[in-house]
Chain A
Amino acid sequence: MAAELTPDQTAERLCELSTEVRAAVLLDAAGAPAAVHGVPKEDERELAELARGLFDAVDRAHRDLPGGPPEQVEVQVDAGVVYASRTPRWTLAAVARRTALSSLTLMDLRAVLAELEDGRPIRRSQAAGERTAAAAASEEAAASESPVPELGQDP
């Protein structure tokens, strides 16, 4: 069984999962940085401050939306895109390339947060070429494979 994801591994995990993500930061419920990946040590605090500022701005402006306070934010600027997603306990923000697909990147953010919160690892399918002899293709194995990461399944 895969090791449980810890907060300090989360930012790196997102960068690993989503190739378009250049940097990521995880904040705890108090807004303190729990993990930063993709920037040098001296810039980590600044990136975390800016990420916290995103939801501060959202909450000041959009708290009274009919669907409740926003849970995710996407800001496209000239040189890249910033995505952020939050749960009551954690906020995960990412800086991605402009070519990133919003729905996929936001799904990755949610999947990593779910893995952190519930301890359910993201199930990733393997390319046929990566398979070992022990995991030889069979109809049964193929039927169990899914092209998208699935949550809520035992590995």
Chain B
Amino acid sequence: MKEKRKGPIGIAADLAQGFSATMRRMQREREPRLLVYDETGYARLVQPNGRGYESLLESAEEMVALVAQAEDDA
């Protein structure tokens, strides 16, 4: 079992760990994510190197941008 660090250095290290975990999580949440579902609702994640990934992503980004533009103009 990992020994818990004590004292001010330990506290600073814990804070840094928490911060970096939060940054990693935020980064992961911003990453594009593509899922396709079959008729039973079973989901499959499309990997970045998977077939169709780029064109799907491109279409979706353009759709979101178009709607955002329309909302900005309104």
- Please tell me if the beta carbons of A38 and B67 are within 8 angstroms of each other in the complex: yes
The contact string, 1 if C-beta is below 8 Å from chain A, for chain B 41-58, is 111101000111101110
A54-B56, A61-B52 known; A76 vs B33 contact (CB < 8 Å): yes
B66 at the interface (CB under 8 A from A): yes
The A/B interface has a contact count, at CB < 8 Å, of 119
A60-B52, A62-B52, A82-B64 as given contacts; A40 in contact with B37, CB under 8 Å: no
Taking the closest CB of chain B, its distance from the CB of A110, in whole angstroms, is: 9
Decide yes or no whether A111 CB sits under 8 A from chain B. no
Given contacts A22-B71, A68-B38, contact A75 B55 (CB under 8 A): no
B34, chain A: closest CB distance, angstroms: 5
C-alpha spacing A46/B70, complex, angstroms = 12
- Complex interface: chain B residues within 8 A of A67 (CB): 38-40, 42
Q: Which residues from chain A contact B6 at a C-beta distance below 8 Å? A: none
Cβ-defined contact, A79 with B65, below 8 A:
yes
Return the chain A residue nearest B30 by Cβ: A78
Q: Are B70 and A65 in contact (CB under 8 A)?
A: no
What residues of chain B lie closer than 8 Å to A32, measured between beta carbons?
Answer: none
Nearest 10 interchain pairs by C-beta: A61-B52, A67-B38, A61-B51, A75-B60, A70-B36, A72-B37, A80-B64, A57-B55, A82-B60, A76-B33
B binding-site residues for A, Cβ under 8 Å: 30, 32-44, 46, 50-53, 55-57, 59-71, 73-74
Given contacts A39-B66, A60-B52, A65-B36, 13 further A-B contacts (CB under 8 A): A38-B67, A40-B73, A46-B66, A50-B59, A61-B53, A66-B38, A71-B37, A73-B36, A74-B34, A74-B35, A75-B32, A75-B34, A93-B63
